[in-house]
Structures are given as structure tokens and as C-alpha cells.
Amino acid sequence: PLKTVPVDVTNQESVDKAVERVTKELGSTGKLWAIVNNAGVFATYGPDDWLKSSEYEEALGVNTLGVIRVSQAFRSLLKKSKGRVVTIASVAGRLAVSTCGPYSVSKFAVVAYMDVIRNELRPFGVTCHVLEPGIFRTTLIEEKAYEKRLNFSFNRCSDAVKNEYGREFVDD
């Protein structure tokens, strides 16, 4: 049966508690057949000129380091079962998207990580899979949310950067 375990992928203690819970539920005879890395953030829009390194850190912290943290934590259980690691990435992990730098960078990185562990875990019978969905209509990408994030990024820019881009850039 499929069971989900909520976990804060940015917090090692939370990940460790999830491993303890799963190990306890499996008992001595149970096997963990798969983990699904599905956490993700897409919080900022705008050209790199408008962004801060902390926004890249946030996206990398969840979208990349979260996948690494969870995959490493459950690796020994997956080796025992010859299970699989499934990671939800994005088409933005193959095609860099303008005004989506932090998201694209984090998704490229997670795809690279999955390629690395796919090769390393193959001898142990563990398979690694990346799902790269395209754009789906969710509240994440609805026009008002997009405009709000874009305006937030633009409004905090220096006057020089605002003049360089112009209000038309935001409104187009």
C-alpha cells in the first residue's frame, strides 16, 4: 500500500524523523519500494538583475538540496529493496526560462544530481527516475500571482535598474 510521510525537506531533523518512522513501520520484513521527491518552490519572477542571491538559495534549498537530503537519507532502505527514487523536476530543468532564474537553476541542478545517483546506484539495483512535467494551470502560475511576484521584484529595484528596464517591461 502507498503511504505518504510529510517531511520538511529543508530540515535534516525532519528528514531523519521520517526515516525513523518509515523504518519502524516497515519492521524487519518490510521493504521500501520507492521514494518520491515532490517538494518544490517557485517564488520569484524577474530578470536576474532584479533578484537576490537569497532567492536562488531558497529555490536550491527546497528544489535541489531537499531532493539530495531525502535521497541520501533513504538510500540504505532503497538498496535493501532494490527500489527506486522518483523525482519530480520540471521541463525548466532542461530549458532555461528567462525571468525564472532561481527555479531553472535549481531544477537543472536536481536533474544533474539524479543523473549522478542513477549511475552510482545502478550496481545496487536501485533505479532513479526524473519526471519533467510542463506547465499546468495552478494557482502558482495564474496571471495575478505572476504579476504580483513580478511587481514585487521590480518595485524593490534601484531607480537605475527601474529606468534601465522601464515600466513597459513589467506590463508586457
Q: Just list the catalytic residues.
A: 103
Which position has the grid cell 532513479? 128
Give the C-alpha distances (Å, rounded to integers) separating 165 from 29, 75, 82, 156: 61, 47, 53, 13
Non-local (6+) Cβ contacts of 138 within 8 A are none
Q: Please, are residues 87 and 110 in contact by the beta-carbon 8 Å criterion?
A: yes
